[in-house]
Structure 1
Amino acid sequence: MAMLLVPGFMLDADLWRDVAPALGEYGPTTYADLSQDSSIPAMAARGLAQAPSKFVLVGFSMGGYVAREIVRQAADRVTALVLIATSPRGDSDVELQRKKAIAGQTGSAVFKGLSRTAVISSLHPDNAERADIIERIQAAGQRLGGEVFRRQSLIDRRDERDDLKTIQCPTLVIAGERDRLRSRTEALELHQGIAGSGFEIIEHTGHMVPMEAPRRLAKVIAEWLERQRAGS
């Protein structure tokens, strides 16, 4: 068994730093790179080119959109799917207006780093003073830089709610208990739309589940994978 881990918006492989070791028995692990492409299908194709022939697929946030596109492009290669803190919905009116504003800015004006306020909004209130997490998220943003911020900000996220029924592989949907970026309703739409999927909530987490509760997240994934392997 192998795994392909897909990060979210303005994040890279460091997102999984404390999760991947606990899932070592399901390795080797490959990390998708979302920094090179300007569309979900292109990101998915790049991830597939880097991945082993068959793998467990784990997608976080924007990476959940990429993961579902990977399933569409190569369903025969995905043995199981885990979707974390993500949504099946397309861009809201607010998000479309934000994209329009970013598209109209020059490159130098678009990105000056992820603000502390923005980062804290992605965390559970109990983690709002976790400097270690805040600094990791901001460091990922600095590594990726302004051009990646612009590309990822302008990516089209289409509404997939009517397409979820086409996902046939075993699927687990995971939500953060106090996710202020992706609602519980959105997570349930994924769960209810994907036949036979499991659903778990990671307590005392916001949106950044893999950083806020890596060991608990890994335990939930590992136990679910064991049930799949046992055929239950």
Structure 2
Amino acid sequence: MSDRYSHTSVGAARLNVYVQGQGFPILALHGHPGSGRSLSVFTNHLSKHYQTIAPDLRGYGQSRVNGNFDMTDHLIDLEALLDRLQIEKCLLLGWSLGGILAMELALRLPQRVTGMILVATAARPYGNHPPVTWQDNLYTGVAALLNFINPSWQWNIETFGKRSLFRYLIQQHTPTAYSYIAQEAVPAYLQTSANASRALYTALRAGYDRLKDLEQIHCPSLVLAGVQDRHITVESSLETARYLKNSQWQCYPNTAHLFPWEIPQQVLNDIDRWLEDHPQVINS
């Protein structure tokens, strides 16, 4: 990422990290808002055969820092984490912001990245989210609170959930999706710092675009997207897949930005199949 953002942090932050399983390491990077725990849909499954490493990024979860920072600091932190855990090579899995950081790491540390699984992300991200009304915010607050108290309560889903901003994050209002929202999305949202939000939105307002640099990435990539994603559109994800030299594209109908929580088994099956077809990314 560009160095034009001002640095106010010095050195790497020691990230809180959740490590599961044994075997070839998979570094799993969450989105915004998010935390290492919000990737359990991936890590609980993949850790049966591999070692999953899911950090709380700087300013998220339990990785608390003081002062402003920029997006480049995340890369410094992640490189330091790999060094601390003595990981020479790893596969990257990134969701949304985590996918952007995965591509940045692959550009920064090509010799250490064996492959990428990119989820609901893009190297030139753009969205088509409608304007947010006060009713949207009201319904979202009520839906989130009731869902946190009583996860997957069907009355709440029908009465408030489908009228809330959740309707842009998911298309399939299933008990499974609402369970993930209650257990992982809400706590992650509450633990996301203002500095983390500022760092992300500063980069986006500056017109983040790494498409032309993707030709430098040679490792295999799996790019996954939801057709109705309003936060990072399916078109921008497809554009990224086309610029990557060695990528496989998978698009899921009737899903949105949180599609791994809508259709978890289908997504995990596709990831397993890709790993079987690309053994070099986990045997390097």
- The number of aligned residues is 210
Q: What's the counterpart of residue 215 of structure 2?
A: 165
Asked if the contact 1:33–1:46 (Cα under 8 Å) also holds between the matched residues in 2, the reply is no
Q: Secondary structure at the match of 1:19?
A: helix
Q: What's the counterpart of residue 44 of structure 1?
A: 75
Q: Secondary structure at the match of 1:83?
A: strand
TM-score, with length taken from structure 2: 0.66
User: Alpha-carbon deviation of 1:78?
Assistant: 0.6
Q: Where does 1:101-180 land on structure 2 (aligned, <5 Å)?
A: 115=141, 117-124=164-171, 126-127=172-173, 130-135=177-182, 136-156=184-204, 158-180=208-230
Select which of 7, 24, 37 maps to 1:14.
37
Q: What's the counterpart of residue 89 of structure 2?
A: 54
Select which of 110, 115, 121 maps to 1:80.
115
CA distance 1:26–1:90, shift in 2 (3 Å):
same
Asked if the contact 1:19–1:217 (Cα under 8 Å) also holds between the matched residues in 2, the reply is no
Q: What's the counterpart of residue 64 of structure 1?
A: 99
Q: Secondary structure at the match of 2:41?
A: coil
What amino acid does structure 1 have at the position aligned with 2:239?
E
Asked if the contact 1:202–1:216 (Cα under 8 Å) also holds between the matched residues in 2, the reply is no
CA distance 1:134–1:29, shift in 2 (3 Å):
closer
Select which of 227, 237, 259 maps to 1:209.
259
- Inter-partner Cα distance in structure 2 for 1:216 and 1:40: 32
Q: Secondary structure at the match of 1:174?
A: strand
Q: Deviations over 1:127-164 (max 9, x none)?
A: 27853233232221112244433343334462112111
User: Computing the radius of gyration over CA atoms, which structure comes out larger, 1 or 2?
Assistant: 2
- Inter-partner Cα distance in structure 2 for 1:214 and 1:26: 18
What amino acid does structure 1 have at the position aligned with 2:101?
V
Q: Secondary structure at the match of 1:29?
A: strand
- For structure 2, which runs of at least 5 residues remain unmatched after alignment? 1-23, 60-67, 130-139, 145-163
Q: Deviations over 1:61-85 (max 9, x none)?
A: 1111111110111111011111110
RMSD of the TM alignment (CA)?
2.6
User: Alpha-carbon deviation of 1:203?
Assistant: 4.1
Q: What's the counterpart of residue 27 of structure 1?
A: 50
Q: What's the counterpart of residue 89 of structure 1?
A: 124
Q: Secondary structure at the match of 2:121?
A: coil
Asked if the contact 2:71–2:200 (Cα under 8 Å) also holds between the matched residues in 1, the reply is no
Stretch of structure 1 that moved more, 61-70 or 199-208: 199-208
Select which of 237, 255, 263 maps to 1:187.
237
CA distance 1:14–1:186, shift in 2 (3 Å):
same
TM-score, with length taken from structure 1: 0.79
User: Alpha-carbon deviation of 1:26?
Assistant: 4.5
CA distance 1:219–1:128, shift in 2 (3 Å):
closer
Q: What's the counterpart of residue 105 of structure 1?
A: none
Q: Secondary structure at the match of 1:163?
A: helix
Q: What's the counterpart of residue 16 of structure 2?
A: none
Asked if the contact 1:91–1:159 (Cα under 8 Å) also holds between the matched residues in 2, the reply is no
What amino acid does structure 2 have at the position aligned with 1:205?
T
